[in-house]
Amino acid sequence: MIRILILIGFTFVFMHLHATGDISKYINMKYAWISYSTIFLLWFITIAAFIFYMKGDEHDHNHEDGCDCHSHSHAPRKRDKFLYLIYIVPIITALFLPISKLDSKIVEAKGFNFPIYEKNSPYDQHQFLEPDTSSFYGEEAYDKMIRKDLKQFGKSEKLNLEDTEFLNAMETIYNYPGEFTGKTIRLKGFLYHNDELPKNQYFLFRFGIIHCIADSGAFGMLIEFPDDVSFQNDDWVTVTGKIDTMYYQPFKKTLPMIKVTNVKKEQEPDDPYVYRNNQ
């Protein structure tokens, strides 16, 4: 019976995440059909487990009526209790613990370390600043996809990045910074500043999900205001400016950046995340 209750618990967790919309904090909603399918699969397994349990219980009952020479114990062993606990803990945490919001504290907790420029671990899927989906495609397929995005975003002299385009456009700009130099761009995100930056420079980030939370990261660009400004970390703004490039010493790399001509303070959106429109 404990197994059935665990199955019901997992089924309810998935239903709860979809009902509240919190599922979008774990996966790219393009793949929501997978979690929907999981709900139906879990219900099927739960019903099947319940039927087998009832048949087994009926068999044991008939066996006891026909023979009283020995008895069976259905008490879970210590090993089983430990395994049940492993399954029960994620159900409890998913239902009763609040989902932590990703903000600049996550960036600070990582020591402003951007592994994409260090290449210490080829297996590290968490990304920062520059979206990179090349590892999910073959070389030819990735080149075809990124050139398709370049054709879409490179034809206009003004880029007005909506949430649905943010990651695709950002990856294209980092791959072809020369194609976008001098173009006007408008985008929204939260600000991050540390002691390494001059007072008029910030990073503008959005937390993005490529497939699921495992390959999520803080993506965006370095922005430069014409004068010293006073913003706090996690302030949300919409900036408009010209795309340029600069050599950023901490990363020992030339980065695309935005020279801001206009800034507007914003409220944090209901869904602060952006998602990769994988093709």
Mean pLDDT score of the chain, rounded to an integer? 82
Angle between helices 2-20 and 32-66 (to 10 degrees): 160
The DSSP-derived string for 5-41 is HHHHHHHHHHHHHHHHTGGGGTB-GGGHHHHHHHHHH
Summarised one tens digit per residue, pLDDT across range 195-245 is 888 999 999 999 888 888 777 788 999 999 998 888 999 999 999 999 999
The SS3 of residue 268 is: coil
pLDDT tens for 3-41 read: 888 888 888 888 888 888 788 777 777 778 888 888 899
Contacts of 161 (CB under 8 A, 6+ apart): 169, 170, 185, 186, 187, 188
Instruction: State which of 82-91, 98-107, 180-189, 208-217 shows the largest mean pLDDT.
Output: 180-189
Tell me the pTM.
0.71
Where are the domains positioned within the chain?
2-96, 104-275
Amino acid symbol at 73 = S
Supply the CATH classification number for the domain 104-275.
2.40.50.140
Angle 115-198-126 (CA atoms, 0-180°, nearest 5)?
A: 15
